[in-house]
């Protein structure tokens, strides 16, 4: 985990000082950040991500998750970045989710324009609690870019109806096209989506920061979204007290002991499990039979 200074090596004090980035973020709800990671780090992130995209997560394989047709989800990607977030979003914010996805080519607006719903809107009725995401592209993005309506943040987030979508001020839309390594920070209450058409697969990771004390909407409690981060000890050297706080060390607000996620595919999973057991059994028999045949051959 690096400090702000080392994570922002290329900040040009003239045009993108932290103060001007902050001003832009407050006004528009999003800000493109200077390149946050070195070429080597980016390559490492791309390799690690590609490794997780090789297989569906299953049994002893830690791969991707698939719950929809157009995206492969990778959970718990390493939180490599901690930078200006504290300044941007205040002292109580914690990295609450680190995940990325590979989006597949399509013309379908499968996600649609929305603000991210995450907190319990029946219990939190005052000002919209701030949540920000830091997005980093791992592939060059020439289509299917992240799109954001500038200045639309700060209102209770929801999925937009057809009528609301038709009335969107698209002249205020920022489209974040850019090479791998492009980073953008956005207030998730602002209206956004992945643009269409997506002409080539896009890989991106999204780090989510909010105050874990804010009550979550029921659907995210049921799913155990924003579970405490699962971290790799190899990367946890030399952390400052602030790094530890921002990573949620000791934070139990969202922890659910013994959590069991309800599966929507129980029958199908049971079927696959039986099939796999049958496969193991066949493997065991064939190695026994093979071993016996080999012994017989040797005796001859």
Binding of residue 187 to ligand AKG (CB under 6 A)? no
In whole angstroms, how close is the CB of 183 to ligand AKG at the nearest point? 13
Residues in the chain, how many?
Answer: 300
Binding of residue 194 to ligand AKG (CB under 6 A)? yes
Residue whose C-beta lies closest to Fe ion:
116
Question: Given the rule CB under 6 A, which of 28-36, 187-195, 215-223, 230-238 is the region that contacts ligand AKG?
Answer: 187-195
CA 210, chain centre distance (Å): 14
Binding of residue 116 to ligand AKG (CB under 6 A)? yes
Q: What is the 3-state secondary structure (H, E, C) of the chain?
A: CCCHHHHCCCCCCCCCCHHHHHHHHHHHCEEEECCCCCHHHHHHHHHHHHHHCCCECECCECCEEEEECCEEEECCCCCCCCCCHHHHHCCCCEEEEEEEEEECCECCCCCCCECCCCECCCCCCCCCCCCEEEEEECCCEEEEEEEEECCCCCCCCCECCHHHHHCCCHHHEEEEEECCCCEEEEECCCCEEECCCECCCEEEEEEEEECCCCCECHHHHHHCCCCCCCCCHHHCCCCCHHHHHHCCCCCCCCCCCCCCCCCCCHHHHHHHHHHHHHHHHHHHHHHHHHHHHHHHHHHC
Nearer to ligand AKG, 93 or 146 (CB): 146
Nearer to ligand AKG, 11 or 128 (CB): 128
Binding of residue 174 to Fe ion (CB under 5 A)? no
Interactions with Fe ion, residue window 94-153 (CB under 5 A):
116
- In the chain the first and final C-alpha atoms are separated, in Å, by 64
Residue whose C-beta lies closest to ligand AKG:
194
In whole angstroms, how close is the CB of 111 to ligand AKG at the nearest point? 6
In whole angstroms, how close is the CB of 44 to Fe ion at the nearest point? 26
**Contact in structure between 73 and 66 (CB atoms under 8 Å):** yes
Question: Given the rule CB under 6 A, which of 78-86, 185-193, 217-225, 246-254 is the region that contacts ligand AKG?
Answer: 185-193
Nearer to ligand AKG, 42 or 206 (CB): 206
Among the listed residues 148, 192, 196, 212, the single contact to ligand AKG using CB under 6 A: 192
* Residue in the structure block whose two tokens are 């070429």: 39
From the list Fe ion, ligand AKG, none, which binds 102 (C-beta under 5 to 8 Å, kind-based)?
none
Nearer to Fe ion, 93 or 146 (CB): 146
**Per-residue contact track with ligand AKG, 146 to 175, x per CB under 6 A?**
x-----------------------------
**Contact in structure between 160 and 191 (CB atoms under 8 Å):** yes
Binding of residue 72 to ligand AKG (CB under 6 A)? no
Question: Given the rule CB under 6 A, which of 21-29, 41-49, 161-169, 189-197 is the region that contacts ligand AKG?
Answer: 189-197
The residues that touch Fe ion, with contacts defined as CB under 5 A, are: 116
Site residues (vs ligand AKG, CB under 6 A)? 116, 133, 146, 188, 192-194, 206
């Amino acid at each position: 985990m690096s400090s702000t200074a080392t994570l922002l090596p290329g900040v040009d004090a003239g045009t993108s000082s932290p103060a001007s980035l902050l001003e832009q973020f407050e006004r528009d709800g999003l800000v493109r950040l200077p390149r946050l990671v070195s070429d080597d780090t980016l390559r490492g992130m791309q390799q690690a991500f590609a490794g997780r995209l090789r297989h569906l997560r299953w049994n002893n394989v830690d791969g991707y998750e698939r719950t929809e047709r157009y995206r492969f989800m990778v959970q718990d990607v390493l939180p490599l970045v901690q930078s200006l977030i504290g300044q941007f979003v205040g002292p109580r914010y914690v990295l609450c989710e680190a995940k990325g996805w590979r989006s597949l080519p399509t013309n379908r607006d499968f996600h649609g324009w929305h603000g991210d719903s995450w907190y319990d809107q029946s219990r939190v009725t005052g000002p919209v609690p701030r949540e920000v995401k830091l997005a980093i592209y791992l592939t060059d993005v020439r289509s299917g870019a992240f799109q954001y309506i500038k200045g639309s943040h700060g209102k209770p987030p929801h999925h937009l109806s057809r009528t609301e979508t038709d009335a969107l001020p698209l002249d205020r839309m920022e489209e974040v096209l850019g090479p791998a390594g492009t980073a953008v920070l956005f207030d998730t209450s602002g209206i956004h989506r992945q643009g269409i058409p997506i002409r080539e697969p896009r890989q991106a990771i999204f780090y989510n920061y909010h105050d874990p004390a804010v009550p979550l909407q029921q659907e995210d409690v049921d799913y155990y979204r924003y579970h405490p981060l699962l971290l790799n000890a190899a990367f946890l050297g030399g952390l400052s007290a602030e790094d530890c706080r921002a990573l949620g060390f000791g934070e139990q607000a969202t922890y659910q002991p013994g959590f069991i996620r309800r599966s929507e595919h129980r029958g199908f999973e049971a079927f696959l499990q039986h099939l796999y057991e049958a496969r193991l059994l066949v493997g065991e028999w064939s190695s026994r039979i093979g071993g016996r045949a080999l012994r017989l051959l040797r005796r001859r």
